[in-house]
Amino acid sequence: MSRPVGWWRRKSTPAKVETYTRWSFHSIAALEALTVGLMIPSAVGGELAVLLVLTGWVHALFCGLTGSRALDWTRGRRPQPARLLWVLAALTLVIAIGAMAIAERGPRGEDVDVAASGLYGSVLVFGAGFLALGVRDRRRVLALVVGFTVGSVLLAFLMGRPGAAALFAGLSVLIGAGVLTLSAVFSVWLIDAVFELDAARETRARLAVAEERLRFGRDLHDVIGRNLAVIALKSELAVQLTRRGRKEAVEQMVEVQRIARESQREVRDVVRGYREADLGVELTGAQGVLTAAGIDCEVTGEAVGLPLDVQSALGWVVREATTNVLRHGDAKRCTVAVRVSAGRVVLTVENDGASRSTGVSGSGLTGLRERLSAVDGTLEAGRLTEGVFRLVAEIPTEVAS
């Protein structure tokens, strides 16, 4: 039992929705085959029963195949199965005509009439529903339902059915096909919406990284752009003065040297500020980002009073953990806790929805371990239980301070 459950939990939310939808329509196709198989033998015996059952099963098989190919087309994995849609439509029409012919001109008996009429209605209803999966335009879906309804009434009239019976058949097809096609349209819309939301979440994470890089680039430009321009001008001036034998060239080069050293110091300050993370700010930012991504995030504990190097190291842990929660697995809940006791500070990040490969190894965790080792800290990360991932960072405040 654990293997199927683990297989399901390892799937992302979009993959779960797609799998659920796919098997739902497989079940609907199986329901058609089961309905035909249970209904006809009890009403009709002999070779006619075998023929009707096999016909219904063939139609159900084509419905299931068409539904699977249509869902693949919806996800962009294959082109639209136009030929298969036409084959299913033609097969539905042929079976419907045959079933109505058996009901009106076949062996006499109420049981035969009921069985053939049942096959007639079921292939029209299920055929319309599965054809709707392969049609993206809502107007065409509506035309499909109306066409099947009108066609069922006309076919019943042409085959000699009484007016009331033909209208009843059309009403049954309208209701059944309408419900099934509505389910098909809604299912396709739901799958598209879930995949688009998942793509938007990944895009938001990439944009956050890109925005941070742009901020860092702007900071570097603001710090050294002016200084480099001054260095270029003074170097050019020093060259001109040297060619003229002027002593002021030395002063200009000394000034260039001073500006270059000051630029080095400013660049180090910018990089240091980029590398140093405020734990309180990172906790607040992580909660905001995860909440915006639809993940219930709870933060407990405070960073007040902790040494700066401890806050910087743990701030990077929070950054990396938040990124892993967003990019890996399918988390619904995340808890971040900061606890200080006995001269040690412990940061715990725990989330559900973790896949089997989530954050167990990688350059991100390796980099965090290197940062923590600089302040005598440790990092432990791994799956706590099936689908639950925990990251624990611990730093001795006395050693770090």
**Cα distance between residue 214 and residue 210, in whole Å:** 6
**DSSP class of residue 374?**
T
Q: What is the pLDDT of residue 280?
A: 83
Placement of tokens 């300050």 in the chain = 269
Q: Does residue 293 have a pLDDT over 50?
A: yes
User: Which amino acid is present at 93?
Assistant: L
Q: Which residue has the tokens 């040494």?
A: 307
Q: Is the pLDDT of residue 348 over 90?
A: yes
pLDDT in tens, 17-76: 888 888 888 888 888 888 877 777 655 667 777 888 888 889 889 998 988 898 889 888
Q: Give me the pLDDT at residue 326, please.
A: 75
Q: Are 117 and 103 in contact (CB under 8 A)?
A: yes
What backbone phi and psi angles, to 5 degrees, belong to 157? -65, -45
- Calculate what percentage of the chain has a pLDDT beyond 70: 84
> What is the per-residue pLDDT for 61?
92
Length of the chain: 401
Task: Name the 3-class secondary structure at 10.
Answer: coil
Q: What is the pLDDT of residues 141-176, one digit of tens each?
A: 888 888 888 888 887 777 777 778 778 878 888 888
Angle separating helix axes 82-105 and 110-133, nearest 10 degrees: 170
Single-letter amino acid, residue 141: V
Cα distances (angstroms) measured from residue 355 to each of 11, 20, 85, 290, 349: 7, 19, 37, 18, 16
Torsion of the alpha carbons at 121, 122, 124 and 128, rounded to the nearest 10: 140
d(CA 89, CA 82): 11
pLDDT at res. 346: 93
What is d(CA 122, CA 125) in angstroms, rounded to the nearest whole number?
5
d(CA 392, CA 380): 5
| Closest alpha carbon to 390 in 315, 308, 343, 329 | 329
With a CB cutoff of 8 Å and minimum separation 6, the contacts of 323 are: 205, 364
